[in-house]
Amino acid sequence: MATEGPCSTPKPGVFDLINKAKWDAWNALGNLPKETARQNYVDLVSGLSSSSDSSSQVKPEADREQAGYETLVMTSEDGITKIMLNRPTKMNALTTQMYQEIMLALEAASKDDSTITVLTGNGSYFSSGNDLTNFTHISPDEIEEKARRGAILLRDFVGCFIDFPKPLVAAVNGPAVGISVTILRLFDLVYASDRATFHTPFSHLGQTPEGCSSYTFPKLMGPGKAAEMLIFGKKLTAAEACAQGLVTEVFPDSTFQKEVWTRLKAYSKLPRNALRISKQMIRNHEKEKLHATNAEESRILQERWLSDECMNAIMNFLSRKAKM
Ligand SMILES: CCCCCCCCCCCCC/C=C/C(=O)SCCNC(=O)CCNC(=O)[C@H](O)C(C)(C)COP(=O)(O)OP(=O)(O)OC[C@H]1O[C@@H](n2cnc3c(N)ncnc32)[C@H](O)[C@@H]1OP(=O)(O)O
């Protein structure tokens, strides 16, 4: 209209959809003067460019910390949702509140607009596993109920990792103990600093494996190596854990954060749905077995928590400083 004036060409055929739409729009302008049409076009284009400028100021992937968590920090940026355990003075030991918050964070991450989710630790440790003070301040008449609820908490917590729908990455920034080791087999990638170690002292604590490790570890590393870890409590270095397949790749501690986040940012640019569907295709092959294993491990631990072996081991840990 701005260059040709009023519509003067024959109407395109019914199946020439694009040119027909253009002809209809041109014809609808009737005898609008060329100068008016030109000004209308300029106003339209400048309006579009200013709205796109304002939207770029919002930075849709802005690093925004998500409120509502006391024991962890959850941020989302560059298509990555990061869940960082945040009890560094206690080596990120997992309190019952922390289990709950991690489940809430995973639920939120499964629904947000990120492509991948990363779990890591703040401070020198990835996590020292279950907070052993979870077993304190329990009166004899409530211990069985506490054990029952603890087993449900454990089953639900591990179940969140089994069912998590997006690619899930563990950035193991330091030593990992107990359940923070066993759940690693439920991640899709495990990147570790070379200062990380992997320790599952279950027998020392009068306890038994969880996180589906009684199934996943023998399957991963063979029954002998799995027994060394899960039954006899052998601590693995990052290199040894990588050799067993528990860790995907080890990075020098000095470059761990930079290398891992550079790689994850590249991964997060891949097609989101293809990543999610591929992850689920792999997980679905054994999801039923994992849930069954999780339920059995939780049932057995519920019994172990009531045993003298377990109670004595935990009291020894908690009183060790007093003996110094
Ligand atoms: C009756 C039934 C109730 C049931 C309730 C259950 C609810 C939970 C359900 C889910 C259960 C999941 C099952 C999980 C099992 C496991 O994870 S087993 C492994 C448990 N973890 C440990 O055994 C590790 C214990 N910690 C240590 O051995 C050492 O702290 C360390 C990690 C090797 C570090 O040693 P060091 O460098 O010497 O530092 P410390 O001074 O020991 O630690 C610094 C402070 O942090 C505290 N701390 C560290 N780890 C834990 C922990 N796991 N639990 C509690 N506290 C921990 C430590 O006490 C120090 O605190 P302060 O003395 O106040 O400084």
Query: Does one domain contain both 32 and 158?
Result: no
The CB-side HSE value for 41 (13 A sphere, CA atoms) comes to 12
User: Is residue 130 within 6 Å of ligand 1 at its C-beta?
Assistant: yes
Query: Does one domain contain both 227 and 309?
Result: yes
β-strand partners of 236: 198
**9 CA from centroid of ligand 1 (Å):** 81
* Locus of tokens 């004595």: 312
Q: What is the pLDDT, as a whole number, of residue 48?
A: 37
Q: Which atom of ligand 1 is nearest to the CA of 182?
A: 17
Query: Does one domain contain both 196 and 265?
Result: yes
Q: What is the DSSP letter of 286?
A: T
- Strands 72-77 and 80-85, by their bridges, are antiparallel
Query: Does one domain contain both 154 and 35?
Result: no
How far CA 137 is from CA of 8, 40, 254, in Å, comes to 88, 74, 41
**ipTM score assigned to the predicted complex:** 0.98
> Which distant-in-sequence residues (6+ apart) come within 8 Å of 221 by Cβ?
229, 244, 245, 246
- Return the best residue to mutate from 98, 130, 235 for the ligand 1 pocket (most ligand atoms within 8 A of CB): 130
Asked, for residue 128, whether it belongs to a domain, the answer is: yes
Nearest CA to ligand 1 atom 50: 128
The answer to whether the CB of 74 falls within 8 A of the CB of 103 is no
Q: Exposed, middle or buried: residue 81 (CB in 10 Å: 0-12, 13-18, 19+)?
A: buried
User: Is residue 27 within 6 Å of ligand 1 at its C-beta?
Assistant: no
User: Is residue 150 within 6 Å of ligand 1 at its C-beta?
Assistant: yes
Query: Does one domain contain both 28 and 95?
Result: no
User: Is residue 311 within 6 Å of ligand 1 at its C-beta?
Assistant: no
> Which distant-in-sequence residues (6+ apart) come within 8 Å of 228 by Cβ?
234
CA angle 180, 190, 258 (to 5 degrees): 110
Query: Does one domain contain both 77 and 225?
Result: yes
DSSP sequence for 265-289: HHHTTS-HHHHHHHHHHHHHTTHHH
Asked, for residue 267, whether it belongs to a domain, the answer is: yes
Q: What is the pLDDT, as a whole number, of residue 124?
A: 98
Token reading at 124: 């020198």
Q: What is the pLDDT, as a whole number, of residue 182?
A: 98
**308 CA from centroid of ligand 1 (Å):** 19
Query: Does one domain contain both 295 and 185?
Result: yes
Number of domains in the chain: 2
User: Is residue 174 within 6 Å of ligand 1 at its C-beta?
Assistant: no
Asked, for residue 324, whether it belongs to a domain, the answer is: no
CA angle 166, 127, 70 (to 5 degrees): 75
The answer to whether the CB of 178 falls within 8 A of the CB of 273 is no
- Rounded Cα gap, residues 120 and 5, in angstroms: 64
Q: What is the pLDDT, as a whole number, of residue 320?
A: 83
**106 CA from centroid of ligand 1 (Å):** 23
**73 CA from centroid of ligand 1 (Å):** 20
How far CA 162 is from CA of 152, 156, 289, 302, in Å, comes to 15, 10, 10, 20
Q: Is the pTM of this model over 0.80?
A: yes
- Rounded Cα gap, residues 192 and 43, in angstroms: 55
Distance between start and end Cα atoms, the chain = 90
Each of the 324 residues of the chain gets a pLDDT tens digit; together they read: 455 666 676 665 544 444 544 565 566 566 656 555 554 554 444 443 333 333 333 233 345 678 789 999 999 999 999 999 999 999 999 999 999 999 999 999 999 999 999 999 999 999 999 999 999 999 999 999 999 999 999 999 999 999 999 999 999 999 999 999 999 999 999 999 999 999 999 999 999 999 999 999 999 999 999 999 999 999 999 999 999 999 999 999 999 999 999 999 999 999 999 999 999 999 999 999 999 999 999 999 999 999 999 999 999 988 986 666
Asked, for residue 65, whether it belongs to a domain, the answer is: no
Query: Does one domain contain both 218 and 303?
Result: yes
User: Is residue 134 within 6 Å of ligand 1 at its C-beta?
Assistant: yes
Nearest C-alpha neighbor of 318 from the set 135, 111, 53? 135
Query: Does one domain contain both 118 and 220?
Result: yes
Task: Give the domain extent around 46.
Answer: 1-51
Nearest C-alpha neighbor of 81 from the set 54, 102, 98? 102
The answer to whether the CB of 124 falls within 8 A of the CB of 287 is no
Q: Which atom of ligand 1 is nearest to the CA of 178?
A: 17
Asked, for residue 63, whether it belongs to a domain, the answer is: no
Mutual orientation of helices 143-163 and 96-111 as an angle, nearest 10°?
A: 20
Q: What is the pLDDT, as a whole number, of residue 160?
A: 98
- Rounded Cα gap, residues 213 and 298, in angstroms: 12
The answer to whether the CB of 12 falls within 8 A of the CB of 20 is yes
Q: What is the pLDDT, as a whole number, of residue 66?
A: 80
Query: Does one domain contain both 86 and 184?
Result: yes
Asked, for residue 293, whether it belongs to a domain, the answer is: yes
- Rounded Cα gap, residues 255 and 150, in angstroms: 38
- CATH at 229: 3.90.226.10
Nearest CA to ligand 1 atom 36: 91
Query: Does one domain contain both 216 and 93?
Result: yes
Asked, for residue 236, whether it belongs to a domain, the answer is: yes
- Rounded Cα gap, residues 143 and 239, in angstroms: 40
Q: What is the pLDDT, as a whole number, of residue 44?
A: 46
- CATH at 8: 1.20.80.10
Asked, for residue 59, whether it belongs to a domain, the answer is: no
**92 CA from centroid of ligand 1 (Å):** 9
Query: Does one domain contain both 35 and 169?
Result: no
